[in-house]
Structure 1
Amino acid sequence: MSAPRSGYRSVSMSRTTGSSVGSYKRAGRTGFPLSASPMGMDAFDFSQSTALSNELKIVRTNEKEQMQGLNDRFATFIEKVRHVEQQNKALEAELGALRQRHAEPSRLADLYQQEIRELRAQLEQVCAERERAALERDAAEEELHKAHERCDEEARRRDEAERTLQAFRKDVDDASLARLDLERKVESLLDEIGFLRKVHDEEVAELTSVIQASQVSVEVEVAKPDLTSALKEIRAQYESLASKNLQSAEEWYRSKFADLNEQASRSSEAIRASREEVNEFRRQLQSRTIEIESLRGTNESLERQIREMEDRHNHEVVGFQDAIGELENELRNTKSEMARHLREYQDLLNVKMALDIEIAAYRKLLEGEETRLSTGITYPISSIPSFNYQSRIYPTSTKISKKERVEDEDKPIGGSDNSASKKGDSGETEVVTSKN
């Protein structure tokens, strides 16, 4: 609106004629503060904000890559956990089969030992996997700590961006105030130009009336053609001087007005750029806030899953330890039962040996008596000595092979045959025993 107004005023000024030296000096005095006023407005330097936005973009891409890596590690960790769970289920199935197997009467202790060795190997494997899972958990916790540090760094950068944004807002407000001040100054200058034009028109009218009055008085008093030409020359000089003053003043005001318009346009462009940058910072702040919230949710879910896995593994380890303790108790009970059966078997074997010795002794006596009766020869019969049958003690080891048992069963019989009776050439019977 100000540009057409100035054009209209310039046209009206070109139509007017005549001025005075006093008005020119007054215009110069009023225009001097405008030329000396601080009009230069430095353009905003956004290189720092551009570098900050580029750095934020780089950090965002790095965070995306790190999040992808963490997701891949988490997927592998879940697969390992599933594999461990499948192994635990297989171990539980084997443990159930072992319990069913051990519920029945066992014949061999080697099976128990083999199963215990396998279970211990599996337990060691599970413990090793648990240690690996613990190491992976520690690595995940370290990555989580690093993610926390990155989140804190991003929060710090966000705070710095907010502070920079506040500073930019302050600069924008200052620029808006400066623009309003410049607009007010432009309006005041335009009003002053109008006032000066009115004063100039009035002065020109007064000078014209004075010149006409002086011309009339000269014509009345002295009617000479030389005065008229002199007045015309003076009028022409004054008119040329007034036109020059008007042109110089108009050019000066036009240059000042152009400078003000240029500064206002620069200020508006700077304000628009700062607003765009503020909007960009707001969008980045919202995206960073959303990413931080998602990272916090992921962090909480990972910590919860880690705690659940630790609890589940602890329960499984406790269950395996209880199962191993039960199997060891069953093995000890089985060993004690086998030892008891072996002792009973040894006692019965000793009784059998004693009975075999007595039967062999009585058989020899009967055969000798029959021989004496059939031949009619009387043999002196010595009194039968009292026997003390010492029971043979066998080792109470749980691992006794069938060969040793057969040898133990065969040795007393052969020994009784070899040591029970011996016949001499004279027909006397000798019983070899241990006397009291």
Structure 2
Amino acid sequence: MGYRIFQPFVGARNDGEYVSYPKYRTHLSLDGGQNINKPQQRVLRNEPHYRVHHAKGAFMNTHSSSGYGRTMGTNYAVYRSHMSNFGEFNDSKKTDLLNFNEKQTMQSLNGRLASYLGNVKSLEEENVWLEKKICDWYENNQGFVFPDCSQYFNIIMDLQGQVFSVNAHNANLTQEIEDGQMTTEGYGKNYEMELVMRTKAEEELCHYYGLLENIQAESQALDLHTQYLEEEILHVKKTSQEEITCLQAQLGTRVDVEVEPAPSIDLNAALSEIRNEYETLMKRNLDDVENFFHEMISELSLEVSSGIEQIQVSSNEVTGLKLCVHTLETELRKQLSMITAHESTLAEIHEHYGSYLSHFQGLIHINESHVAEIQSTLKQLTYEYDIHMDLKTSLEKEIEAYKYLLDGHDTLAHTRYFRDVSSGLLSSRNPSWEMTEVTGQFCSEGDEDTSEQI
């Protein structure tokens, strides 16, 4: 775990410059524990801490000073050497007044510096405590790592692709089924037309069978009538012969009558002719009827055979279409069952991942609330840290001001004294030279153009 701690200011100097400024250092703990290097407090050694300061006043007077002191205490040993070159104003009264003001100012500055150093120490301890608290919080509140759900996204994409392919295949099957239904309807219409034609042919055939039966019945009736006529002729011949015989028996002995009758007609020959003519006519009619019947039968047989062939072809096609429709219906039921199974599986997957998503969303909301709390806590800690840093900066600036006063007090005092004498406004109660601190700037009310930035 990586964190940052604040290294307090240690106050060491090297070659007249400050070193070991406050730093943020990142420490990496390999075992996951707390790895805080507590800053050790240092006490400045009794050696010069400030570089030699040279300044020139408003009246071209030169001033140099060097300070020796021990921090974290109230006793300071200050050695100052002053060199002043300003005409005839170096008398004993001015020197006594100046020394009195320096002692009083140094006592007050030493007291304020001791209090400020105590405040700095307490702020450093509080800063270390805050940094430790922040590190403990980071250790106790580690970030939540979301699981990798990319593999589930790939599975979902594969299932969606399968569903799309099954839908496309089902659409193709539906189109094929519709085409098969249209073809079946066309074959059904053709079958109905052929069936109507067959019915008409069968009706005509039945009519012709009736005509043939009527002709056969008439032929049988004519045969019976011919037989009856033949029997009647035989009966007439027999009767006439008996009568002739009887008459001959009665008149044979008494009267011999010779009559030359006209030549009689040969009934047998006449009957034979009539029979022959009738037989010829019957035979001709029968031949005509048989020829007509055979012609009609041949035509009907041709039509019936062609119709039967067409019916067989149509029945075969209908059977094949029925088998195809049955196969397609079976495949459709299978695909519908597969679609239902896939839809149920997809619904279960959606429900499963929906529960996962709701769970993750709950975790996200919880983590967001934790992050919001952390951010608010961090903002508060940052605000407190900024306040402490501002306070520390102001204290450092005030310390710099004290250093400046320690280094340049005589020059400022001589300058104030000489200006007061030259203007005739010298007053111990209300001096005209006042030092004010505004973000590290020192200015004089008597001379607004002269300012110095530390």
* Structure 1 length-normalised TM: 0.40
Point out the structure with the larger strand share: 2
* Structure 2 length-normalised TM: 0.39
Q: Which structure would you say has the larger RCO, counting Cα contacts within 8 Å and 6 or more residues apart?
A: 1
Rg larger in structure: 2
